[in-house]
Amino acid sequence: MELLSFDRFAWAVSFFGHIALLLLLTMRGRARSFPLFTTYIASNIAKTVILYFILHDRPGDYSSAYWSMGVLDEALQFLVLLELALHVFRPTGVWAPDVWKTFAGLACASVIVALPLTWMAAPRSATLGRAFVLRGNFFSAALLSELFVAMLALSAVAGLPWKTHVARIAQGLGVYSMVCVAIDIVSRYLGNDDHAYKVLSHIRIGTYLACEGYWIVTLWQEAPAPRELPESMLTQIYALQRQVEYDLAKIRDWRRF
């Protein structure tokens, strides 16, 4: 399999970018907060190394290896999104009771919307296996985009703020997924045009590299420092919490008639 010069360039940039990102996540202590995102980045490094050796030693297997690893890549992207959802919707360590059912409902609705769209998307491919993977890619990109938007909407309505780094990771992943959906739509519209397919593929790779750069810059920066509360104030706040909790329990129990 012959790689174009842009592909080689993108491969190298992506590889070293992932290494920089992994070092950054480890050294700045972000890996503790985002173990699944760190795993995703580490898996990308491993994938690049493995594919490099396959390309040199068994070039005939490169294509199937590339598509197989894409499945792992997408599974990890879903896990990263779940990790981000846990950060946003479990502010005190347990699921916020007012969002859990809505989030589950939105996730189900997202699957219901993404499935018929995927069924309608007949990708250009010579083999059945590759067509299956391409459909899977489209489904995954559509679902990730929907879940990203659902998280944005639900957190805004419920008043749950995003921590800085959670928001940055989600933005990168969300924008990349939406660009992938847009590329799939254009690709399907243009049909069997090899030149257009290559251009679109380069746009997708370029977008991913931009997201990688965005993650490197934003995850390197520290989140804005919280403002300190005096100890006495904190005690009062906890007293208030107990009082409000007690009141609510009473109100939920009483019956007017």
Partner 1 sequence: MNKFYFVAFAVVFLAALIGLATYYTMRARRSAGATWEGLLTRLVWVDRERIAAIALDAVGESGEPRSDEEAFHLDSSTIWTLLGGLEGLEALEQNCGVLIELAAYLQRWHPEALPVAEQLRLSAREIEWHVGRLKGAAQTGKLQPAFGDYAQRAVVTYYLMTRHVLELYDRAGFAGLAELQRAL
Residues that bind partner 1 (CB under 8 A): 91-92, 96-98, 113, 117, 120-122, 142, 145-146, 148-149, 152-153, 155-156, 158-162, 174, 178, 181-182, 184-185, 188-189, 191, 226-227, 229, 233-234, 236-238, 240-241, 243-248, 250-251, 253-257
Give the separation between CA 147 and CA 178, rounded to whole angstroms: 11
138 contact partners, CB below 8 Å, separation of at least 6: 117, 118, 121, 123, 180, 181, 184
Residue 23 or 223: which CB sits closer to partner 1? Answer: 223
User: Tokens 């491993």 correspond to what residue?
Assistant: 46
CB of residue 202 to partner 1, shortest distance in Å? 20
Residue 195 or 250: which CB sits closer to partner 1? Answer: 250
CB of residue 213 to partner 1, shortest distance in Å? 20
CB of residue 95 to partner 1, shortest distance in Å? 11
Residue 91 or 129: which CB sits closer to partner 1? Answer: 91
Estimate the crossing angle of helix 164-190 against helix 62-89, to 10 degrees: 140
CB of residue 195 to partner 1, shortest distance in Å? 19
For residue 73, count CB atoms less than 10 angstroms from its CB and return exposed for 0-12, middle for 13-18, buried for 19 or more: middle
CB of residue 84 to partner 1, shortest distance in Å? 14
Distance of CA 11 to the CA centre of its chain: 20
Closest CA to 179 of 239, 135, 223, 138: 138
